Structure 1
Amino acid sequence: MLALNENRTTPTVLALSLLLGLFGTRDALAGDTSDTMRVGDMQFGNALDPRGWTPMLQPADPDGMSYLHAGMLRTPTGSLYPYPPMIDAARPVGQGDWTYDGVLDFGYLHVGGDRNAEYFRQYADWRSGAVLGLFALDFQNHKTGAYAEFRGSRLSSDDQYYRVRGGVYGSYRIEGFYREIPHTVSTNAYPIWNGVGSTSLTLPASLVPGASTPAQVAAVSAATPEHNIGLTRRREGLSYEGVLYHDWIASAAITNEKRTGTRLWGGSMFFNYPFPDNGGILETVRPIDFRTTDVNFSVRNVGKVWHFLATYNGSFFRDHKDHLDFQSPFALTNVAGTPQVANIYNGRFSLEPDNDYHNLRLDLSRELKWNGQLTVAGAWATMRQNDGLLPPTSCTGTGGVFIAPTADYTFQCANWNTTSALSQRSANARIDTGLFDARATFHPSPTFGWHAGVRWYREDNKTRYLAYNPLTGQYGFISENGSQGSVVPGETGFFDPANPLFNSSNVLVRNVPFSYTDSILELGTDWQLGHKTSLGVTYTFDHNQPKYRERNRVDDQRIKVDWVSRDVIGATVRMSWEFAKRDGGKYNYDPYVQFFAQSLPGFVAPSIGLAAYTVADMRKYDLSNRTENKARLIVTHPWGDSATISATFYGNRDHYDALIGRQNTSTTGATVQWDWQPTPATTMNLYLGVEGSHMGISNVNDADSADNGRIFGSLGQSNPNLGGPFYPYANQWWEDDSESNRNAGLSFSHDFGRARFDLSYNYTDSLGHVGYSYATIGALAYRDAASVAAANRGFPDDRYRTNTLDLGLSFRVTSAVGVRLYGRYETGAFSDWHYLGLDNTLVYDHRLYTDKGGQLHYNASLVGVMLNLKL
């Protein structure tokens, strides 16, 4: 089953050899390993059958969950247990102790309507044609407890799964699987480049790189055939679990996931704002071709005193395409008005590097006096990446701007488009983590208990990189592959202590090795206030010490109260409330001086001072002082003997102490669900949900802009304070981002004896709104009449709405033959202001887009007939 091609076979065959060599297959082993330390994929299904076993369902067993209790049973909180399906008698295999059971479900699907709509096929490769709904075989040996099973389904060549298991209950289990999951990103894309899916995007012959007009590019874009953009995840794995010796149980697993396809990507050749005909903003297409291999090993022992578990997890990522080169059709025109030195039109992206992850963890636990338990865990992990680095640029010739007679802001690409321009040839990146976690729980009496826990975690970034070019003696890197410095004089991206034109360039020259240490103390207690009521209180103190961040200490204190009662008008009520307060050390708005050129010898501070790139009153949301409140109410009420109604209400409020940055967030929501099963043959469920969220942020537009007649002028550049000449109060603005979601669902099923009818309906509706307010018109980057009017109105609302109706009719022709009729009808409506105008053209000035967005309205249908054979 797994040997589909050589690439897929290699990791699984190696893993199988390793697993069998380590653990073997003993016939009589102690300990139940049927569902412990589960590794690999947990759920197998697809869009046709999300559960993965619907064709195997039999009519419900009227005896319910127990021969001792007629009808249905409930959980302790009042929810109904469903009636279990009846189990057919298995058929014998020859004259031995083995029996088997199986099903073959196959047929034909027809897709109609807007079958290519993006949201209809986003995670399902719906196609008209023959399909394998399910092929399942189960073998059981009731005498020895041995079993083997196979399950598979195939909708298309990119949408299928297969799984095989075997073992002996209470002894060992081995499992292998292969599955494919499609992901459609866009069905409405028009990339103009040749080589889509490769690492090199070249322009068609009708366009000249760096010398084409917007009209020419628009004509090519309009004539480009429609493309589908998407990828497929192909995942395979093997796992084994069994007893090594006496009470020692081991497990091992390997999974391999390969992703191939394409995805929409960026491609800037510097800004196209605020100067027209400069640079270009491009939406390109990047290749997806990488593999992730995960391995897991564990050994555990449940002794008389101590319980022991040791695990190793490893993850190995390999990208088979490490870069993306693209050609820009647009010319670069510098803002100085002088002739262009060179025509730079090549762009390059470095894609994800190969990397490795290793994690070792040890867990110990034991019972204590006073009905207590102690658990201790320790772990160490390392993440490493040492890929070869690409040259800083891929440009050729001369870049930059020459302003006669002496202002030579140019650079030679030959000094930067080679790995000799690097201070080191490989990344040598490494992050190590450490963890210690201990928790003690005591219940000295049936009505009282308490617990205490401590957790320490450290992330240590050991990566150190200095951007230095030994060929030129310059620090930093060429920004935007040379395009930025070829538009704006001096913005080349490097610092040169020997050149007066560049010895004040305060550019980034070192990586920032972000790290942190987090220590958590938790104390809690719970009381049983009565036979059916309990109260719990937990206090948590979280002490975080970030490194190379705006704060070196962040303290978060939290108290949580839980109240549960099973005696409120016959219902179970669960309520919780949390209050949290976060503060910390002094806030430093610019802690990154040591990573910029100003920290290097030879740097000359500008006479007007260093530009204040960040307003001092900015507070990053994860470091800002914050007050948080959370509340949740869950009610579960039995309604008669065969129904349950449950409801959940929740709300979160966060307030941030920030003049600039995130200021507040809130979320409120409610869900109501009704479950009804009056007989084993009839089931009905109804679900309603609503949620609203809001986020408020504020920022300020600097006064040093082209609208004021200056380009990087002198007005208050070095003053970072809100209210100063560079960041005046008059330029402050506020944004209110709100979103509301509604969803509903209905399912109904009735078994008539020889036939079964199924119906389900799902509705989703999401509405997003972004509103703005501002102190004065100076807060706007563009101050023409259209921009002012748009800011006053806010952006148009974003909306996404779908309706999906599924109908099914299954009937038995004989005891071994059945027919299943299936139908789906789906409608959708989509509106996003980001895509407004793209139906007319994908080219606006020097801005080129590839994707027109999801289909605004679609109606799609799916009908099928499946033949169900019991094997």
Structure 2
Amino acid sequence: MNRTLSEGLCHDPLRGQCGRKTGRDEMKSWRTTLALCVSAAVAQMIAVPVRADSAAGVGEHLGNALNPLTLKTVPEHDPDGLDAWPDERTPTGKLLGWPAKVPETSSAGDGWVYHGQIEIGGMATGGDTDNAWFRTYKDLPDSGLYLNNFSVQAEQLGKGKGYFFEALGGGVGYRDQFEGISLGRYNDWSVKFFYNETPHVFTNRYRSLWSGVGSSNLTLNGVPAGGVGVKNADGTMNATDSQTATVAGLRSAIEAVEDSELSLVRETGGVSFDKYLSSKWRFIGRYSLEHRDGSRPFGAVFGGGGGGGSVEIPESIDYDTHDILAMLRFDDGKNSLNLQTNVSLFRNNIDTLTFENPLYVSTNTVAASSGVLDPTRFTSGRYDLYPDNDFYNIKAEYGRSMPEWYHSRFTATVSLSKMKQNDHLIAPTTSDLSGISINGVSAENNWNTTSALSRQRAGAEIDTRLFDVAFSMRPTDKLGLDTKIRYYETDNKTDYLACNPLTGQWGRLLNDGTGGAFAFPNTSAGNNPAGTLATAYDSAGCNLNAVKALGLVPSSGASNIRNVPYEYSKTNVEFGGEYRLARGQTITGHIEREQYKREHRERDSTWEDRLKIGYLNRAYQWGTIRGSAEVGRRRGDSYDPDPYEEFFSVSLGPEPTADVTNLFSWIHAMKSFRKFDLADRDRLALDLRLDLIARHDLDVGISGQYRQNRFPDSDFGRKDDQTLGTASLDVNWQPSDKLGLYGYYSYQRSSMTQSSIQPNGCVIGNYYYFYSDGAVASGSTPTAPARSGASLVDTVLVSSGNWSSQCSDHAANSPLWTESRKWTVDYDDTNHAVGLGGRYDFGFARLELDYSYVTGTSSLDYSYNDAALGLSSAVVALAGGGMPDSDYNQHTLGLNLVFPISKSVALRAIYRYEQGSVDDWHYAGVAANPVPTDSGSQAVYLDAGSQDYHDNTVGLLVQVNF
């Protein structure tokens, strides 16, 4: 289970590429009402123009479920407030709504004015409060005192002053708390500090068999490591009885274990500094530290080469990510320059995860030096967790405005990045493998050391380069033109050979010594000279050129011997412009070519041409029309279904010519199979949006989108049309500062089709018999066996002269890719979302109500020939035409009622209701039967999946303003 370089560089599913983070929950930054009120006064009092953006708040991710936009206060609206205007709209025609009433401020002397508020009280939650779905990304109190939010804003007004201070927070003491502080001086400097926590509950229905969850070592409780071994009378192992006994013990142990939770908490804190060095120069510096701690379900495969069993172990998580940014900005009105450097350092505080294995496993490749191998000796497995990795980036951006020359503007960007990790690699196994041999070579103490690896450290590195140049101009008042050239490339410098210098063996030991994937000379008569030994490669001492010089046919063509250093370059050239047809009406058009150059992929080059046309009409009094259409056509050079020979054992020697057992290892892919990111593709994208001013105080929005990807040359893989359609309706009514209502509905449907062929066999010297019902049989004589209910259609002999052509692609009489063994899956996904809500000010109380409902259905429909695939009637009855639909529904209702008691004190009553239901066939029967098989490969399911829930949250909070 050693992580080899062929498995990828700096892979972290929570953070995307090495050193970069993805998938964070984006939240809007907050803007205090006090800043809106006093900014004009400050601009008058301070000698230089106000440029500070401190009112944007601290951090971009502060908030939680009860404060989704940082602070939730249900404010009073004010029709006479600063800049208030009835039915005010954005330039696109949307209602802005009535502004919130500006809170009164207090004076603290020396020009300081301030305002603050705090909301605290009692909260209680009842229902299925342990449900993982309900608790994902939020932490609500079961009962007790709760500080929902607080904020303080202060500014020092007056000439030569302009200092400010802001602080806010919420959910203090809970796993979704947030706090932030900002202070500084307008037009001069500012410092911001922030801290927030985000919980993620993966499951609350995990039945753990181990102690030490969250650590680097998992120790079994109640079941023996290695499974239960049962011997025959002659002392050999009885695999069937051993597996049966192991399964029985596992079921008993799982039934005795209570459900537990696997979750993590993401804690993020940081500081930023912003300083105006002069009227033209500005420096910005930022540092943040994100820590993730907890555990989550992890699918562990153990036993043999492909795994004789699988079990969900709890993966331990203890990550730190350091992000550092320094930026220097220049702007003199015509020229602008940004110089930026960014460093992201990921550190995994748990290097490896060792777990005791509860399975009785099957083995392959490894064998006892004498006698019978006892699988119960393999009691533990080890995973090398995500490695420490670094990301470095420097970027320069320049822009120049040239208003005197057709109002033109030029921009250029250069960005250079480096991603690297140099983790210490771990030994292929922790076992000494005493008494075990691999292809006739003793394995004892030859694989439990890092000396068994071709290098001690990863040495993985990918460099990227980006160059971007754009130019725009407006030759006339009606015409605007723009062009852009963008070039991006990756340079993969990672190199790893899978060879053991201690033994000279090429390949890998798998699953902690229970199996392997090795390449050695083929010992079948006729392939290599008589007397060729399986150890003939070993004497070359991991010298790849020396092995190839031997000219020996390898035993298999599918063993990995090197990592594949994927890399590519991408060039985008775009030209377009806009033309004003009439007042308020504009048409736009762009053409673009995108060209990829790839290394070690099925296509060396692909190119895609795109044409996009857009139309905007703001001339009508009743609203705005926006529409666009885009078409794209991707093509490429010749398609090589298997460009990876140099990285597999097929490259070690000639192709086989004599009888072998598995020619599929030399034919890795069907010639007509196409990967979706490289296949010919025709794209269509349509967008339409109508923003209607139905009344002076009523907006109605109607929108629709359609996406279609067609794969005209893909018989297998992603094929036919992949479509996505969306339609939505939204309404916003703001008749007064007292009343406001909204509603929306959205519909989305997507579909996709994929197809392939289940490979059969292709053995030199074998005859293959094809029947009218699609079934295929093989034998060593030209006489076909009788088949009930089906007639013989064709017979094919695979020989040393025709196996490559006969078995490389699909055909009705292809031994390997027989067309009758084709399967197709159609995927459809349908989603609905409904929301409505509003506010009303009774005078003595303010009411705010929000309701949302989302529902979705995903369906899979399979088509296949059960006779050709050799499926039994029992299997066909279970599988049918596809799995059952997966359905989910979720209702969320939020109600807030504020009772003002005085100018500075109010009561807020909170009610929140959530209800969710899910029907997911992936987890059907898991809770009742966590170990579904008594023989063959074992699978142990310890996570019973999501479940239905309903929860109610109530609270009575006191709001105090000061």
TM-score when normalising by structure 2: 0.81
Aligned-pair distance for 1:562? Answer: 0.3
Among 140, 143, 155, the alignment partner of 2:155 is: 140
> In the alignment, which residue of structure 1 is the partner of 2:422?
386
Among 458, 471, 474, the alignment partner of 1:440 is: 471
2:906 and 2:647 map into 1 onto residues whose CA distance is 70
> In the alignment, which residue of structure 2 is the partner of 1:167?
184
> In the alignment, which residue of structure 2 is the partner of 1:15?
none
1:806 matches 2:894:
yes
Structure 1 residue runs without a partner (length 5+): 1-26, 403-407
| SS of residue in 2 equivalent to 1:218 | helix
Q: Which amino acid aligns with 2:77?
A: A
2:279 and 2:853 map into 1 onto residues whose CA distance is 54
- Would the alpha carbon gap of residues 485 and 705 (structure 1) be closer, same or farther in structure 2, given more than 3 Å must change? farther
1:133-164 superposed Cα distances (whole Å, 9 cap, x missing partner): 11211111121221101111125432211100
1:811-852 superposed Cα distances (whole Å, 9 cap, x missing partner): 111211111110111111111001011121211222111100
1:522-542 superposed Cα distances (whole Å, 9 cap, x missing partner): 000211001011100100100
Counterpart contact for 2:378–2:514, Cα < 8 Å: yes
> In the alignment, which residue of structure 1 is the partner of 2:31?
none
Counterpart contact for 1:106–1:868, Cα < 8 Å: yes
Among 493, 507, 512, the alignment partner of 1:476 is: 507
2:519 and 2:140 map into 1 onto residues whose CA distance is 50
Among 717, 724, 732, the alignment partner of 1:675 is: 732
Q: Which amino acid aligns with 2:273?
A: Y
Q: Which amino acid aligns with 1:288?
A: I
> In the alignment, which residue of structure 1 is the partner of 2:809?
721
Among 53, 58, 66, the alignment partner of 1:48 is: 66
Q: Which amino acid aligns with 2:718?
A: R
| SS of residue in 1 equivalent to 2:922 | helix
Counterpart contact for 2:676–2:717, Cα < 8 Å: yes
1:646 matches 2:701:
yes
Structure 1 residues 94-113: aligned runs within 5 Å: 95-113=109-127
> In the alignment, which residue of structure 1 is the partner of 2:549?
none
1:851 matches 2:885:
no
| SS of residue in 1 equivalent to 2:255 | helix
> In the alignment, which residue of structure 2 is the partner of 1:183?
200
1:496 and 1:783 map into 2 onto residues whose CA distance is 42
| SS of residue in 1 equivalent to 2:474 | strand
> In the alignment, which residue of structure 2 is the partner of 1:240?
273
1:359 matches 2:385:
no
Among 130, 148, 153, the alignment partner of 2:170 is: 153
Aligned-pair distance for 1:28? Answer: 9.0
2:383 and 2:444 map into 1 onto residues whose CA distance is 17
Structure 1 residues 204-215: aligned runs within 5 Å: 204-211=221-228, 213-215=246-248
1:593-625 superposed Cα distances (whole Å, 9 cap, x missing partner): 111123347997875455322211111110000
| SS of residue in 2 equivalent to 1:599 | helix
Structure 1 residues 748-767: aligned runs within 5 Å: 748-767=838-857
Among 649, 672, 684, the alignment partner of 1:629 is: 684
Counterpart contact for 1:692–1:739, Cα < 8 Å: yes
2:353 and 2:180 map into 1 onto residues whose CA distance is 36
Counterpart contact for 2:392–2:417, Cα < 8 Å: yes
1:114 matches 2:150:
no
Among 505, 509, 514, the alignment partner of 2:561 is: 509
1:694 and 1:837 map into 2 onto residues whose CA distance is 28
- Would the alpha carbon gap of residues 867 and 508 (structure 1) be closer, same or farther in structure 2, given more than 3 Å must change? same
Aligned-pair distance for 1:689? Answer: 0.5
Aligned-pair distance for 1:30? Answer: 6.0
1:174 and 1:634 map into 2 onto residues whose CA distance is 41
Among 685, 692, 712, the alignment partner of 2:742 is: 685
Counterpart contact for 2:304–2:361, Cα < 8 Å: no
> In the alignment, which residue of structure 1 is the partner of 2:347?
318
Q: Which amino acid aligns with 1:210?
A: G
Structure 1 residues 814-833: aligned runs within 5 Å: 814-833=902-921
| SS of residue in 2 equivalent to 1:809 | strand
Q: Which amino acid aligns with 2:537?
A: P
2:704 and 2:946 map into 1 onto residues whose CA distance is 33
Counterpart contact for 2:46–2:162, Cα < 8 Å: no
Aligned-pair distance for 1:229? Answer: 0.6
> In the alignment, which residue of structure 1 is the partner of 2:820?
730
> In the alignment, which residue of structure 1 is the partner of 2:251?
218
Counterpart contact for 2:553–2:653, Cα < 8 Å: no
Aligned-pair distance for 1:98? Answer: 0.4
Structure 1 residues 3-402: aligned runs within 5 Å: 33-35=51-53, 41-55=59-73, 58-63=75-80, 66=83, 70-93=85-108, 95-128=109-142, 129-143=144-158, 144-154=161-171, 156-211=173-228, 213-270=246-303, 279-333=308-362, 339-340=372-373, 342=375, 343-368=377-402, 369-398=405-434
Q: How many residues of Structure 1 are paired with residues of Structure 2 in the alignment?
A: 825
Aligned-pair distance for 1:328? Answer: 2.0
- Would the alpha carbon gap of residues 470 and 66 (structure 1) be closer, same or farther in structure 2, given more than 3 Å must change? same
Aligned-pair distance for 1:777? Answer: 3.2
Counterpart contact for 1:617–1:722, Cα < 8 Å: yes
1:527 matches 2:579:
yes
2:57 and 2:488 map into 1 onto residues whose CA distance is 25
- Would the alpha carbon gap of residues 246 and 88 (structure 1) be closer, same or farther in structure 2, given more than 3 Å must change? closer
2:297 and 2:442 map into 1 onto residues whose CA distance is 32
Aligned-pair distance for 1:660? Answer: 1.1
| SS of residue in 2 equivalent to 1:766 | strand
- Would the alpha carbon gap of residues 191 and 387 (structure 1) be closer, same or farther in structure 2, given more than 3 Å must change? same
Aligned-pair distance for 1:681? Answer: 1.5
Q: Which amino acid aligns with 1:189?
A: Y
1:771 matches 2:857:
no
Among 429, 451, 456, the alignment partner of 2:482 is: 451
Counterpart contact for 2:631–2:685, Cα < 8 Å: yes
Percentage of pairs with the same residue: 28
| SS of residue in 1 equivalent to 2:874 | helix
Aligned-pair distance for 1:75? Answer: 1.5
| SS of residue in 2 equivalent to 1:587 | coil
- Would the alpha carbon gap of residues 594 and 642 (structure 1) be closer, same or farther in structure 2, given more than 3 Å must change? same
Aligned-pair distance for 1:271? Answer: 7.1
Q: Which amino acid aligns with 1:381?
A: S
